[in-house]
Structure formats: C-alpha cells, structure tokens
Amino acid sequence: MPMPHRTFAQVAKRRLTGKEGRERIREVRALLEELPDYRNGPYADLRKWLLSEIEESRVRSSAVHRDSIAVRREGAAQIALVGPPNVGKSSLLQALSEIQIKTSDYPFTTLRPIPALTRIGGVLVQLVEIPGLIEGANEDRGGGRALLGVLRSADAIIYCVRATAEPGELRPVIDEVTLAGIQKPAFLAATRADEASPGAVERLAGAFPDLEIVPVSVIDEASLDAFRDAAWRLTGLIRVRLRTAAGTEPDPIALDPGATVTDVADSVHHDLAASFSGARVWGPSARFDGQRVGRDHPVEDGDVVEILI
Ligand SMILES: Nc1nc2c(ncn2[C@@H]2O[C@H](COP(=O)(O)OP(=O)(O)OP(=O)(O)O)[C@@H](O)[C@H]2O)c(=O)[nH]1
Ligand SMILES: [Mg+2]
C-alpha cells in the first residue's frame, strides 16, 4: 500500500524545507525513487512537481552564484558602510581615502560595493560602501542577497543616515540586516551633520538607543577624526609599535587582542618568531619602561616592543 498522495506531498515539502542547491536536488531524487510509478492521477502530478523542483533548484543556485559579489580584502580589517541612498557614504569614503568616487545629489549613484583604504593611526583599514540596501533585500530585491553577503563577510558595520533624517529612513536597513542574522560590532554615523539643526543628533540617539552615534561631516576635519577613532574601536584590534636600533617605527602593527610578543616577532618575520629570546616593552603592558619579558608576554594597545635576538 503506497503512502496516501496527500501525506506524500506533505512529507516531501517538509523534507525539502531549508535545503538548497545540490542538497535539495539529492532529496528530490530520493523522493522520486519512493514515489509510486503511476502514469496518471495525483502521483503522476507529484512526479511532475518534483521534476520541476530539480530544474528550479538548478536555476536558483546558478543565479545565487552569479549574484554574489566578492570584495577583495585589504588592510587590517574590513568595515562596511550601509544606509539609505544619498546620505553621503561615497563622500565619506572620498574624504577618508585617496580614491575618487562618483558622488551626486541623486540617490543610487553608487551601484556596486566600493572599497577604499583609509589610514587610522598608521594602520590601513578597508571601508566598503554598500549601495542601495532596500526593504526586501532578503528576498533579493535590488540584488539584496549579494549585498548582504558582503556585509556578512565584513568585520564590522557603520550604519549611515543623515543627521536630519527621520529615524524611519534607517529602520528598513537595520531590519534587513537583522533578518539576515548578521550581527557585527556597529555604530551609527549621523552624516551631513553640518546641515543638522540642534537636537537632531539627540533625536537619532533616542530612536536607536543600542547604537553609539557618531556625528560626521565631510567639511569638518575634527568630526572625520572622531569617525576614524570610532571605526578603529569597531575593529577590536590593538596597535603595537616596533623599536629597533634605528628608533621606534612610525607605523604600528595591528594585532588581535590577546597577542603576545611572539606574534609581534612573527609579523616581522616567521624566522624571527622561531628564534628570538625575549623582548623589552614600554607602555601599558609593561610594569616599568623597558621591562624585559619572555616570549609569551601579552602585549596591549599602545605598547612599544623591542625584539631581542
Ligand atoms: N552638506 C553636506 N553635504 C554632503 C556631505 N556629505 C555628502 N554630501 C552631499 O550629499 C550628496 C550625496 O552624497 P553621496 O556621497 O553621493 O551619497 P551616497 O550615500 O554615496 O549616495 P548613493 O551612492 O547615491 O546612495 C552629495 O550631493 C554630497 O555633496 C556632508 O558632510 N555635508
Ligand atoms: Mg554612493
């Protein structure tokens, strides 16, 4: 006695739920094997439906493949800038880096993610403008899935909205990111702050109590510095400078928190990490200037380290 066709349809749907691509096709094939081989009637309809599922899964997976966008990682961390159109994301990237990007007073000037390297306290960090993330992105509206994919691989997110905006303008963006299950360190940049009337930033802060608000304007250098500092804090990285016979290196090394002097030596050269005998340390992790430490001594943000061979 075969399973009643209605039960079979229910079981089939349950078994296909949440499966995509090759896995879905394999499951469909297994179901086809189990299906009674009638030429007509409800079982034949089920067969037709399952066969069409194979074809549709194929089309969907090739579409997902084509639509994914890879942004080549550069620098110590990758931070995505996301927000409604026309809030000044490209202008910010321009003000913070060397690149020339198209900006304009129209929405959707930027159509693809644009990376730009910015130097924060001597360390290069990659900022990526994510254009046009709109309501329905999770259903791929506006090519949203690929954009969410870029956000997913970033280390942190900066939400951007005009300081004068109604909070409702940013809400759909945050909702789509949340719906996609993406959770990253984040803050909210209140952009074009020079246009804002007093109280505007406080209003945004009230609407988004969970996010630190950083007001920023491309014509206010001090606000750009504060933006850089906040972006650096999002990375969670620490900065350590090397001291050599020639003096202290101007550009720091970026390391994960918890790094030791061995990691510092390793960033200079793998061989050095294998052979060095210890280090001298100045700064927050040292009990006194020039303290002699062993290979496993943990460094802290702001340390200066001399590797001893
Ligand atoms: N007053 C003022 N205007 C700004 C500021 N930043 C950007 N703008 C203006 O805002 C408009 C939009 O800037 P874009 O940088 O293109 O904005 P976007 O968010 O990249 O826009 P899309 O890529 O089109 O979504 C332009 O006319 C800029 O000149 C700012 O800090 N102050
Ligand atoms: Mg833009």
The CA 209 to ligand 1 mean position distance, Å, reads 25
Among 235, 266, 296, give the residue marking a domain's end.
235
Tokens 């254009």 — which residue? Answer: 131
Name the maximum alpha-carbon separation found in the chain.
87
Same-domain check for residues 36 and 128: no
Nearest CA to ligand 1 atom 10: 88
Give the range with max mean pLDDT: 9-18, 82-91, 101-110.
Answer: 82-91
Q: Domains in the chain: how many in total?
A: 3
The CA 183 to ligand 2 mean position distance, Å, reads 23
Global pTM reads 0.76
Same-domain check for residues 222 and 190: yes
Judged against a pLDDT cut of 90, whether residue 129 lies above it is answered with yes
Q: Which residues pair with 118 in a beta bridge?
A: 125
Residue 26 is assigned to a structural domain of this protein: yes
Q: Is 5 exposed, middle or buried (0-12, 13-18, 19+ CB in 10 A)?
A: middle
Spatial neighbors of 252 by CB under 8 A, at least 6 apart, are 121, 122, 123, 239, 240, 241
Same-domain check for residues 249 and 228: no
Q: Which residues pair with 127 in a beta bridge?
A: 79, 116
Which amino acid, residue 145? R
Shortest-distance atom of ligand 1 to CA 216: 31
Same-domain check for residues 54 and 133: no
Judged against a pLDDT cut of 80, whether residue 63 lies above it is answered with no
Q: What is the DSSP letter of 141?
A: G
Give the range with max mean pLDDT: 134-138, 140-144, 207-211.
Answer: 207-211
| Residue ranges with CB less than 5 Å from ion ligand 2 | 89-90, 109-110
Judged against a pLDDT cut of 60, whether residue 272 lies above it is answered with yes
Which CATH number covers residue 257? 3.10.20.30
Q: For residue 66, what pLDDT band results from cuts at 50, 70 and 90? A: very low
Among 235, 250, 276, give the residue marking a domain's end.
235
Task: Answer whether 69's CB lies under 8 Å from 147's CB.
Answer: yes
Same-domain check for residues 82 and 212: yes
Same-domain check for residues 217 and 275: no
Same-domain check for residues 101 and 225: yes
Model pLDDT, residue 249: 87
The secondary structure element, H or E, covering residue 286 is none
Beta-carbon neighbour count of residue 30 at 10 Å?
12
Residue 110 CB less than 6 A away from ligand 1:
yes
Judged against a pLDDT cut of 60, whether residue 98 lies above it is answered with yes
Same-domain check for residues 114 and 219: yes
Q: Which sign, positive or negative, has the C-alpha torsion 271, 274, 277, 283?
A: positive
Provide, for the chain, the percentages of residues in helix, strand and coil under a 3-state DSSP scheme, each rounded to the nearest 5. Answer: 40, 20, 40
Same-domain check for residues 179 and 288: no
If one residue of 103, 108, 159, 164 were mutated to test the ligand 1 pocket, choosing by the most ligand atoms within 8 A of its CB, it would be 103
* CA distance to 238, 248, 254, 309, per residue, from 268 (Å): 16, 14, 12, 13
Beta-carbon neighbour count of residue 251 at 10 Å?
13
Residue 280 token pair: 């001298």
Tokens 């060095």 — which residue? Answer: 276
Tell me the pLDDT tens digit for each residue of 151-177: 999 999 999 999 999 888 999 999 999
Spatial neighbors of 294 by CB under 8 A, at least 6 apart, are 261, 278
- 3-state secondary structure string across 223-261: HHHHHHHHHHHHHCCEEEEEEECCEECCCCEEECCCCEH
Model pLDDT, residue 55: 84
Output 20 or 257, whichever has higher pLDDT.
257
Same-domain check for residues 216 and 126: yes
Same-domain check for residues 226 and 93: yes
Residue 72 is assigned to a structural domain of this protein: no
Q: Which residues pair with 188 in a beta bridge?
A: 159, 213
Q: What is the mean pLDDT of the chain?
A: 90
Percent of the chain with pLDDT over 70: 96
Judged against a pLDDT cut of 90, whether residue 70 lies above it is answered with no
Judged against a pLDDT cut of 90, whether residue 215 lies above it is answered with yes
Domain residues for 48?
5-67
Residue 90 CB less than 6 A away from ligand 1:
yes
Residue 89 is assigned to a structural domain of this protein: yes
Q: Is 132 exposed, middle or buried (0-12, 13-18, 19+ CB in 10 A)?
A: buried
187: closest CA among 228, 138, 219? Answer: 228
Long-range contacts of 40-47 (CB under 8 A, 24+ apart): 42/5, 42/6, 43/2, 43/5, 43/8, 46/5, 46/8, 46/9, 46/12
Residue 256 is assigned to a structural domain of this protein: yes
Spatial neighbors of 20 by CB under 8 A, at least 6 apart, are 57, 60, 61, 64
Give the range with max mean pLDDT: 196-210, 222-236, 240-254.
Answer: 222-236
Same-domain check for residues 222 and 242: no
Q: Which residues pair with 157 in a beta bridge?
A: 80, 186
Shortest-distance atom of ligand 1 to CA 83: 19
Residue 173 is assigned to a structural domain of this protein: yes
Among 173, 206, 235, give the residue marking a domain's end.
235
Model pLDDT, residue 59: 73
The CA 89 to ligand 1 mean position distance, Å, reads 6
Residue 73 is assigned to a structural domain of this protein: no
Which CATH number covers residue 99? 3.40.50.300
If one residue of 82, 87, 89, 91 were mutated to test the ligand 1 pocket, choosing by the most ligand atoms within 8 A of its CB, it would be 91
Which amino acid, residue 180? A
Q: For residue 188, what pLDDT band results from cuts at 50, 70 and 90? A: very high
Tell me the pLDDT tens digit for each residue of 17-58: 878 778 889 999 999 999 988 888 899 999 999 998 888 887
Lowest mean pLDDT among 59-68, 84-93, 263-272: 59-68
Q: For residue 67, what pLDDT band results from cuts at 50, 70 and 90? A: low
Judged against a pLDDT cut of 60, whether residue 64 lies above it is answered with no
Q: For residue 65, what pLDDT band results from cuts at 50, 70 and 90? A: very low
Residue 226 is assigned to a structural domain of this protein: yes
